[in-house]
Structure 1
């Protein structure tokens, strides 16, 4: 199935509402991708895009098999973008073998995408704890109860494990603080490539890329 973009040529605005064409000159600062990314993320929030911080993360396991899944970006800094998960999950095990990942923010309703690729490192315990303490208690209990990515016999068993964890820490709504699970924490993708995509008419889309080199960042336009 083919879906159309704005009619009338490359200069016409698309769903993002901009008549200006994405250009490498939009990259400013160091790193050059951050300002534009945060602008586009804020505009996705303002446009009420569902889960605007959702990103599709791709990893490769020890057998060279790729896998993708959607996670939530929980931090942006000059160093990169951060998400949290279980270290023993499928993605955690893949990253232990191949610490390199991609992440794509698919703001389809705005005809925009941003794509990151780079090395992945664990964030430090302080950053993990800071995020953990910001989570609702119910989310903390669920994360503590779940052996992420491991098989379980039924929904009832999963709910029983969650209930037992809540009882262990004094209740679902109140009780003693829930500690960070031993095998849970954050990962940071340290981008080597960041590409921005803007949909345009007749599939003549705009693509601009920032690439980190040994001499600094290089910016360039790509053909669609």
Structure 2
């Protein structure tokens, strides 16, 4: 060996490998944690396991590298998309775009802003039009819902855009058949009720043109006689002579009640009642009248229309004498169609009438009251209805075309109506 020559030492096995492991690799995967001066001195010590964070979401992380960050004085800042600033830790952070606060809803329409439309599904659920047209124009949302009392401006705007109501018809009576003037979303749901499920398919005998005479008298007698006979045989036609009588009051409104058919001749049916009752007063003002007899068990019905005429006094007295004693006393005790305080008052009046007219077994023991009489319908139109399957009923009508009774073909014109 030459004196003074440099001696080249052979490196220890694994020395370069150890130095290479201590140097941080140039990759994106780093450990993020706060460091202390002790960590700064102990560079070669094994770092404490901490949570791994990617510096950028697009750069993949390489597994197996345990490195330390290059900045040792504080935790490095990692700006992730959408992260807000934290002034307490000195991080400004990226600018985050925030939505502006919505404008207050109160006073939006008053300020003249464009009215906000409702979503399509809400408009369809409320029955509103699909377009922008609503009641002749675009109404504010609050005006369509009905403006509260404390918002007169919206209420006035809705009233101005609402179409004007049509004037009532002549006579002062309002048009009640017209649809109510109400906002579409306030329309109440129509309920059909539990009676819609009660259905019966009619299986009547029906009517044919060959079986209907030119005048209604014969067929009318047969139907009424068949109803009386069926009640006597089967008992499924209670009160076969019950007849509904319809009149009209001074205002033109219809009024209907049920009486008993007591006579039938070539002019029409007749019944007896008090002439001072509601129907008597209505017939005195307007003699127009209609009657109907219905037998549901037989799927038959008779309707007649015409004008009423008072029965002769002798006929009224003869019928009144044929009534039972209790019915004759009740005619004196009851002021028909007049109010009564209670049932006890009515029974007291009946006892007083019974004491005044005791039962002697004679038809003349109870006189005919004043104002008691009867009426006959002089028919101008007769309709016979027969129920058939699938609601294809038979309706045969006889209309008067000349003078004569119910048995004269020349006085009537027969036709069929659709059900």
TM norm. shorter chain > 0.5 = yes
Mapped partners of 1:24, 1:88: distance in 2: 43
Give the RMSD, CA atoms, in angstroms. 1.7
Larger Rg, first or second structure (1 or 2): 2
**2:77 matched residue in structure 1:** none
Work out which of the residue numbers 58, 63, 76 in structure 1 matches 2:251.
Answer: 63
Where does the alignment leave 5 or more consecutive residues of structure 1 unmatched?
7-13
In 2 relative to 1, CA 189–25 (structure 1 residues): closer, same or farther, beyond 3 Å?
Answer: farther
Work out which of the residue numbers 21, 28, 33 in structure 1 matches 2:216.
Answer: 33
| Alpha-carbon contact 2:359-2:365 (below 8 Å) kept | no
| Alpha-carbon contact 1:145-1:162 (below 8 Å) kept | yes
Mapped partners of 1:76, 1:24: distance in 2: 24
Whether 1:54 and 2:242 are equivalent positions in the alignment is yes
In 2 relative to 1, CA 189–41 (structure 1 residues): closer, same or farther, beyond 3 Å?
Answer: same
Secondary structure of 2:207 counterpart: coil
Secondary structure of 2:222 counterpart: helix
Mapped partners of 1:128, 1:191: distance in 2: 20
In proportion to residue count, which structure has more strand?
Answer: 1
**2:414 matched residue in structure 1:** 219
Mapped partners of 2:338, 2:352: distance in 1: 18
**2:34 matched residue in structure 1:** none
| Alpha-carbon contact 1:23-1:221 (below 8 Å) kept | no
Q: CA deviation at 1:26?
A: 3.7
**2:264 matched residue in structure 1:** 76
**1:96 matched residue in structure 2:** 284
Q: CA deviation at 1:27?
A: 4.0
| Alpha-carbon contact 1:141-1:165 (below 8 Å) kept | yes
Q: CA deviation at 1:120?
A: 0.2
TM-score by length of 2: 0.48
Work out which of the residue numbers 328, 345, 353 in structure 2 matches 1:157.
Answer: 345
Secondary structure of 2:416 counterpart: strand
**1:198 matched residue in structure 2:** 386
Mapped partners of 1:60, 1:173: distance in 2: 41
Runs of 4+ in 1 over 6 A off after TM superposition: none
Q: CA deviation at 1:34?
A: 2.0
Q: CA deviation at 1:80?
A: 0.8
In 2 relative to 1, CA 85–143 (structure 1 residues): closer, same or farther, beyond 3 Å?
Answer: same
In 2 relative to 1, CA 142–190 (structure 1 residues): closer, same or farther, beyond 3 Å?
Answer: same
**2:200 matched residue in structure 1:** 4
Mapped partners of 2:209, 2:331: distance in 1: 41
| Alpha-carbon contact 1:24-1:219 (below 8 Å) kept | no
**1:42 matched residue in structure 2:** 225
In 2 relative to 1, CA 25–141 (structure 1 residues): closer, same or farther, beyond 3 Å?
Answer: farther
Q: CA deviation at 1:56?
A: 0.9
In 2 relative to 1, CA 96–203 (structure 1 residues): closer, same or farther, beyond 3 Å?
Answer: same
Q: Deviations over 1:171-192 (max 9, x none)?
A: 2565762111110111000100
Secondary structure of 1:39 counterpart: helix
Q: Whose RCO is larger (CA < 8 A, sep 6+)?
A: 1
